[in-house]
Amino acid sequence: MRNAVFWVVALLALLWNGFGLYDLYMTLTINREYLAQFPPEMMAMIEAFPEWRRLLWTTSVFLGVIAAVLLLLRRAMAERVFWATAVTMAAGFIGYDLPFGNGLEAYGVFGVIFSFVLIAVQIVLALYARWAARHALIK
């Protein structure tokens, strides 16, 4: 049963982080149809991002995908990469968006909550990878 749960979690992690990659691509390529679902304040904030903030966002998304692939490959390093994903996400959101990027207005209440959920998911996946390593599901 542990093995089945492991594979479900690993696949869900890849789907979750894969959607983050899709979102990044659609946003940075300015797909108007996709972006129509976001408030104009959020789009203004993203368009005003300094390049280092875009790089931090891109890094966190790619780290999440890499961590999920490492989990699927049953590599214990997945835990560290999930932690790095959570840290880079928090650095961007808490370190820039909220205090300097007009994040409260741009994200709205739901967006702020969802951003914390995004970070929390990476933390839970890191803890799951640690648990999986301790139970010899990954090496």
Scored b (16 or more CB within 10 A) or e, 88-112 reads: bbbebbeebbbeebebeebbeeebb
73 pLDDT band (50/70/90 cuts)? Answer: very high
- The per-residue pLDDT for 2 is 83
Q: Is 70 exposed, middle or buried (0-12, 13-18, 19+ CB in 10 A)?
A: buried
- Mean pLDDT, the chain, rounded, equals 96
d(CA 110, CA 73): 34
d(CA 62, CA 72): 15
pLDDT tops 80 at residue 45: yes
Percentage, residues of the chain above pLDDT 90? 97
- The per-residue pLDDT for 68 is 98
1 pLDDT band (50/70/90 cuts)? Answer: confident
